Amino acid sequence: GIRDFCLSRGLGDVYKRQAHNIPEGMAVASPIYHATGSKSKAFFYSLISGACEPLGALIFGFFFKEIDNYTIQCLLAAVAGVMILVSCQELMPIAFEYIKPEKAMISNAMGMIFISISIYMLHGSGGLHSHDHDSHSHSNAHGHGHDHYHDH
C-alpha cells in the first residue's frame, strides 16, 4: 500500500520534492515584507502558503485509499506539468516586469543549480535512486523496484 511505498522511497525522495520549499517560502515572504515592513505578516502568509501541501495530502488521502505505482507516476507527472505552467505563465513574466530578462534568467539558472546540487549530493549519500534507462524494470539496493512505461 501507500505506507510501504512511502517507507521504501526514503528520505531522499521526500527531500528532492521538498527542497524547493525553502526558496519558495522566501519568494512568498520577501514581497510581503517589502510591502508591509512586517516580518510577522511575511511569516504568517508564508505559513498559510505552506499549509496548502498538508491540505493536498488530506484531499489525496480522502480520494485514494489504495494506489499503484503507475498512478503515482501519473500524478507526479501531472504535478510537474502544473509547476512548469505556473513557472512559465506566472513567475517568469512577473520577474521580467521588475528586473531585466538577463537577471531573471540568471536567477532562474541559479535555482536550477541549487536543486541540481542538492539532488546530486543526495545521490552521493545513497539517498536517491538513479534511473538506468538501459533496462525497463529494475530493483535498487534500497529496496524498491519500478517499471518504466513507454508508449511506442
Q: Is 137 helix (H, G, I), strand (E, B) or coil?
A: strand
> pLDDT value at position 41?
95
> pLDDT value at position 10?
60
How far is it, in rounded angstroms, from Cα 119 to Cα 128?
8
C-alpha cell at 85: 505552467
Q: Is the separation of the CB atoms in 10 and 142 below 8 Å? A: yes
- Residue 147: what are its φ and ψ, rounded to 5°? -105, 150
How far is it, in rounded angstroms, from Cα 147 to Cα 7?
18
pLDDT tens over the chain, length 152 residues: 555 555 565 656 666 667 777 778 888 899 899 999 999 999 999 999 888 888 888 888 888 778 888 988 998 899 899 989 998 998 899 889 999 999 999 999 998 898 888 777 776 655 444 454 444 444 444 444 444 444 44
How far is it, in rounded angstroms, from Cα 95 to Cα 10?
35
> pLDDT value at position 152?
40
Burial of 114 (0-12, 13-18, 19+ CB in 10 A): middle
Which alpha helices (H) appear in the chain, and where do they start and end?
A: 2-18, 21-36, 39-50, 52-63, 69-86, 92-98, 101-124
